[in-house]
């Protein structure tokens, strides 16, 4: 696990991630309070996503109603990162729960968090997530290798 502080607030909204698992919407038993004048957040979705360095982020998004749930494209279509701010409404709240290195740890962290806030269970296909994460990380390595080779060829010329 990374020891860097987790992004919060606007930094969490600005995270550009490719999504490998997104849960179904879950109703909160007790609505989450918001700033004065904003509607309470009654629904949440959770997910596991990967950044451009290969770290897995575990997150939850709280929204006022099921209609406000973002439409996040799940792997393998989303091979490039999209910031949360582009897919969640202004009344939503993104909470980054953890940054881990393996899909198994990500699923365990998300399951634990969801069970504490919504008494919900998830059952993602961890083998699928392992393959998706490995493929994404391999693509990141190929991009870095191409960029390094291109940079070396430019210096040699």
Please give the residue that has the higher pLDDT: either 119 or 154. 119
Lowest mean pLDDT among 53-57, 121-125, 143-147, 151-155: 151-155
Burial of 55 from C-beta contacts in 10 A (0-12 / 13-18 / 19+): middle
pLDDT attached to residue 75: 47
| Mean pLDDT value of segment 92-100 | 92
Sign of CA dihedral 135, 26, 58, 144: positive
State yes or no: pLDDT of 58 exceeds 90. yes
What is the Cα–Cα distance from 125 to 103, expressed in whole angstroms? Answer: 10
| Mean pLDDT value of segment 30-44 | 79
pLDDT band of 73, cuts 50, 70, 90 = low
pLDDT band of 110, cuts 50, 70, 90 = very high
pLDDT band of 67, cuts 50, 70, 90 = confident
Instruction: Judge whether 69 and 43 are in contact, CB under 8 Å.
Output: yes
Element (DSSP H or E) covering residue 8: none
- Provide φ and ψ at 7, rounded to 5°: -70, 145
Across the strands, what pairs with 63? 43
pTM for this model (two decimals) = 0.84
């Amino acid at each position: 696990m990374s020891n860097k502080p987790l992004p919060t607030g606007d930094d969490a909204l600005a995270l550009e991630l490719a999504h490998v698992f997104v849960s179904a919407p879950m109703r909160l038993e007790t609505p989450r309070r918001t700033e004065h004048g904003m509607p309470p957040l009654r629904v949440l979705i959770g997910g596991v996503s990967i950044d451009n360095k290969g770290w897995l982020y575990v997150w939850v998004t709280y929204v006022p109603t099921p209609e406000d749930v973002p439409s996040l494209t799940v792997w393998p279509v989303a091979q490039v990162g999209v910031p949360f701010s582009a897919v969640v409404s202004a009344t939503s709240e993104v909470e980054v729960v953890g940054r881990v290195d393996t899909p198994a740890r990500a699923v365990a962290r998300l399951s634990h968090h969801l069970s504490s806030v919504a008494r919900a269970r998830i059952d993602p296909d961890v083998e699928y997530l392992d393959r998706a994460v490995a493929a994404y990380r391999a693509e990141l390595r190929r991009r870095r290798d191409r960029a390094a080779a291109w940079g070396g060829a430019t210096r040699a010329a």
